[in-house]
Homo-oligomer: A and B are copies of this chain.
Amino acid sequence: MLETQRQPAETGHSARSARERILDASYELFSQRGIRAVGVNEVMERAGVATATLYRHFPSKDSLVLAFLEMREQRWTHGLVEAEAQRRGSDPEERLLAIFDIFDEWFHRDDFEACSFINVLLEMGAQHPAGDASVEYLDHIRSIVRGFADEAGLRDTESFARSWHILMKGSIVSAAEGDVEAARRGKAMARLLIGQHR
């Protein structure tokens, strides 16, 4: 169903293809305001795209939402969290702790939007396809944490990753509430948790 990157035959040879513009607009709107609060009209407007064009690329709003979540994993999970943690930490334990340094900068951004996977899961429910996909993407985040923990030689890394993830999600929600120090608090508890699994 994905009809992935259709580079050739670009028609308008516009700087960015219609599909790309739709995805970018979806990303900005859905990540900032949620799913139900954003209509497809608004997406089309911001993308500068006609109705038929959006529905040629995505058969329904739901499928557009799924594409948004996939993009969120690329940009946020992999592009921001995983890659930056790798870059900042010189050893596995430092890579783990770097997650909260990344969070700290992220929490201080004016356009801080919280975690789209949590947002969508809670907004749509676990039964909805988008909520279900969100649970899966949250699993992936935990897998990354577990990978770092394995490299660090910690004990019981599955349980460790689940506890670590509690700290990540809790500090994100606290930041959404307005506590800009949430990452610092999370990091302090994270250190204690590492101590328990060493």
| Residues on A facing B (Cβ under 8 Å) | 33-34, 36-37, 114, 118-119, 121-123, 125-126, 135, 138, 159, 162-163, 165-171, 173-174, 176-179, 181-182, 185-186, 188-189, 192-193, 196
Contacts and interface: CB of A to CB of B under 8 A. Distances in A.
A178 B118 contact: no
Given A168-B170, A170-B166, A121 B176 contact: yes
Contact of A178 (B135, B165, B179, B181): B135
Nearest to A167: B170
A135 to B, nearest CB: 5
Contacts of A126: 176-178
Total copies of the chain? 2
Closest 10 CB pairs of A and B: A170-B170, A166-B170, A192-B192, A169-B173, A36-B36, A163-B185, A169-B170, A119-B122, A123-B123, A166-B174
A181 B122 CA distance: 19
Contacts of A165: 170, 174
B173 A185 contact: no
Contacts of A123: 34, 36, 119, 122-123
Contacts of A169: 169-170, 173-174
Given A121-B176, A162-B182, A189-B193, 12 more contacts: A37-B125, A114-B122, A121-B177, A122-B123, A122-B173, A126-B176, A135-B178, A162-B174, A166-B174, A169-B170, A189-B189, A192-B193
Nearest to A128: B37
B163 A188 contact: yes
Nearest to A175: B166
A34 B119 CA distance: 12
Nearest to A114: B122
B189 A163 contact: yes
B125 A118 contact: no
